[in-house]
Amino acid sequence: MGYIEAGHYGELRVDRSIKEVQFPSEVHIIPDFHMKIHENRYIQIDTLLITSSYILIVEVKNIIGTINFKTSPNQLIRTLDDEITAFKCPIIQLQRNRDGLQGWLNQTQSKVPIYTVLVFASDKAIIEKAPKDQTILFAKNLPLYIQKLNKIPPHLTKDHFLKVKEIITQKNIHFIETPLCQKYEIPARALKKGVLCINCGNRLIKVSERQWKCNACGQIDKDPIPRNIEDLFILMKHEVTMKECMNLLQLKSRYTLNYTFQKMKLIKTKKGNNTTYQKSKT
């Protein structure tokens, strides 16, 4: 349960934090970006942001505990409950991705700066001995960092930006996203039930017809159900039934859930005695 709360719930927070940013010009955001550089080299980027002023490579780590960065060889060392675990160094991954993307941009004569940021999804991570030459943030600090980048003057004309956007989108190798529970072999019963807080992941309490409150952090949310249903698609599977949603979100009103499904414009499919709902592909 703790792994879900600190890790995968935090991963969703990183994507949402980017959506909080008001970009001054056009922006193209590609989650889970894969690109073939040449016959024997691919790059994989958690989230890629493309603007006319800069390109940002975001690497997300869902790790809690005390974090140390070692060199020679490069490793990330995590200490948690007196257990020491070594991981591949995410900074090397960022450098590799930046190098690959920069080489491709040079071929297209696109001169736009590339920035990299390592984001720890959970603020339960304690960072020690962080490298000074790499930007490392918690998810909640990412919007402010992006807002500072947004002050950079444009390097690409609108036409050139649209061209780069189109080519990079075409280069992206599409993979069917595997639900996180399946990807990390986490049973669905490990998921915390209820309508959860966007800020801390604890359960929200409905205090009125149009307001929910988190007693843990004080967050107020006026419409948390659609976001929580989106989380179910990411965590569990690409289609859900009303019964599953009512159970996992601990909702009592089928009318409320049905209204939310309609508002989200989910695709309704009849399968035998069951009716499933899934997101539109458009």
More confident: 204 or 273: 204
Does residue 121 sit in the same domain as residue 213?
Answer: no
Does residue 141 sit in the same domain as residue 270?
Answer: no
Average confidence (pLDDT) over 131-149: 93
Asked which of 171, 201, 224 is the last residue of a domain, the reply is 171
CATH number at residue 122: 3.40.1350
Asked which of 171, 203, 228 is the last residue of a domain, the reply is 171
Residue 183 belongs to a domain = no
The DSSP line for the chain is -HHIIIIIHHHHHHHHHHHT---SS-EEEEEEEEEEEETTEEEEEEEEEEESS-EEEEEEE---EEEEEETTTTEEEEEETTEEEEEE-HHHHHHHHHHHHHHHHHHTT----EEEEEEES-TTEEEES--TTSEEEEGGGHHHHHHHHTTSPP-S-HHHHHHHHHHHHHHB---PPPPHHHHTT--GGGSPPSPBPTTT-PBEEEEETTEEEETTT--EES--HHHHHHHHHHHT-SEEEHHHHHHHHT---HHHHHHHHHHHTPEEEEETTEEEEE----
Residue 11: its pLDDT value, please?
Answer: 57
Residue 141: its pLDDT value, please?
Answer: 92
Does residue 138 sit in the same domain as residue 102?
Answer: yes
Residue 1: its pLDDT value, please?
Answer: 38
Does residue 85 sit in the same domain as residue 44?
Answer: yes
Residue 177: its pLDDT value, please?
Answer: 64
pLDDT of 142 strictly over 80: yes
Residue 2: its pLDDT value, please?
Answer: 40
Residue 10: its pLDDT value, please?
Answer: 54
Q: How confident is the model at residue 144 (pLDDT cuts 50, 70, 90)?
A: very high
Percent of the chain beyond pLDDT 70? 92
Q: Structural domain of residue 74, as residue ranges?
A: 2-171
Residue 185 belongs to a domain = no
Residue 72 belongs to a domain = yes
Stated pTM of the model: 0.65
Residue 174: its pLDDT value, please?
Answer: 60
Average confidence (pLDDT) over 142-146: 95
Does residue 62 sit in the same domain as residue 116?
Answer: yes
With b for 16 or more beta-carbon neighbours within 10 A and e for fewer, the 127-140 pattern comes to eeeeeeeebbbbbe
Does residue 159 sit in the same domain as residue 271?
Answer: no
More confident: 166 or 7: 166
Tens digits of residue pLDDT in 231-271 = 888 888 888 999 999 999 999 999 999 999 999 999 999 87
pLDDT of 59 strictly over 80: yes
Q: What is the rounded distance in angstroms from the CA atom of residue 224 to the CA atom of residue 257? A: 12
Tens digits of residue pLDDT in 186-198 = 777 888 899 998 8
Does residue 39 sit in the same domain as residue 134?
Answer: yes
Residue 269 belongs to a domain = yes
Q: What is the rounded distance in angstroms from the CA atom of residue 174 to the CA atom of residue 176? A: 7
